[in-house]
Structures are given as C-alpha cells and as structure tokens.
Amino acid sequence: MKRYLLDTSLLAAYLHNRTQAITLMSLWVQRDEAVTSILVYGEVIEYLKGLPNFQQKYDKFHTILHEIPPNPLTYAILERYANIRRTLRPQHKDIGDIDTLIAATALEHNLTLVTVDHDFERVLHLKTKFANLKAA
C-alpha cells in the first residue's frame, strides 16, 4: 500500500547519493510504500538538465522511477488544487502552483508528503514528514 509521496528535494538528494535520503527512502521502496507526482518528475528533470553529468543522473532517476512511480494528475486532484488555492489566497498564504498540485495529489491519495519545504504546512489536512537532508 502506498503511504508516502516523495517531493523534489528528496529525490534530488537521492540522485546525489545523500545518505539521509537513501536511508529514508530505502525501507519505503522495499515495502512498496512510496510514490511521487508527475510534477515532481518535471521539477527533477529541470534540475538535472543543469548538471554536467545530466545523462548519468537522468538514467539513475529513470531507474528509481520503476520503484517510485509518479502519480498522474486527475480531475479530482485538480478540484483539490482549486479548493486549496481558494482557501490560501484570501489569507495571502498561497504557495506555488506546482507545490499546490503536489499537495493536492498527496491529499487525494491520502499520502504523507515527504519534503524539506515548510510552505506545505499551510495546506490544511495535509500530512507531512520533514526530511533532514543536510550535506554530510
């Protein structure tokens, strides 16, 4: 059963062989509990394109995606996105559109979002786990 949605920072840290990310993710991968979002895929690819070893990291990323599949966007997720935006905007606490869609994906699938980004705390009812990914 899927339990965790992995955010961009965690996957990027994994691709850089950061021990904290590997340790955190390994049990979830082994238990088939982790997914990501198709939007995280886009953010990671955009990041990787700026690296000199793009192809190596790209290949590693696509290998791990066999274990951590990206959830696609659906109408239900987009409805949640709209609700989150309408809740946060009047309070001037809105977060970026991609992060809002990632949060909506986690909510729609009843997943805990694993991230380093505390902006997600603004989203009501979103379960979050904050990863410590400090450089070794």
CATH at 94: 3.40.50.1010
**66 falls within a domain:** yes
Task: Output the pLDDT for position 133.
Answer: 81
**114 falls within a domain:** yes
Instruction: Please say if the pLDDT value at position 135 is more than 90.
Output: no
**99 falls within a domain:** yes
**15 falls within a domain:** yes
Angle at 56 between CA 53 and CA 60, to 5 degrees: 135
Q: Report the mean per-residue pLDDT for the chain.
A: 95
Task: Output the pLDDT for position 93.
Answer: 87
**9 falls within a domain:** yes
**63 falls within a domain:** yes
**136 falls within a domain:** no
The 3-state secondary structure of 28-42, one letter per residue: HHHCCCEEEEHHHHH
List the domain range (segments joined by +) for residue 20: 4-130
29, 67 Cβ separation under 8 angstroms: yes
Instruction: Please say if the pLDDT value at position 91 is more than 90.
Output: no
Average pLDDT over every residue of 7-29: 94
Number of structural domains, the chain? 1
**135 falls within a domain:** no
Angle at 21 between CA 33 and CA 36, to 5 degrees: 40
Task: Output the pLDDT for position 94.
Answer: 85
The whole-model pTM stands at: 0.93
Instruction: Please say if the pLDDT value at position 40 is more than 60.
Output: yes
Instruction: Please say if the pLDDT value at position 136 is more than 60.
Output: no
Place 53 in a pLDDT band, splitting at 50, 70 and 90. Answer: very high
Sheet holding 112-115, edge to edge: 70-71, 34-37, 4-6, 112-115, 128-130
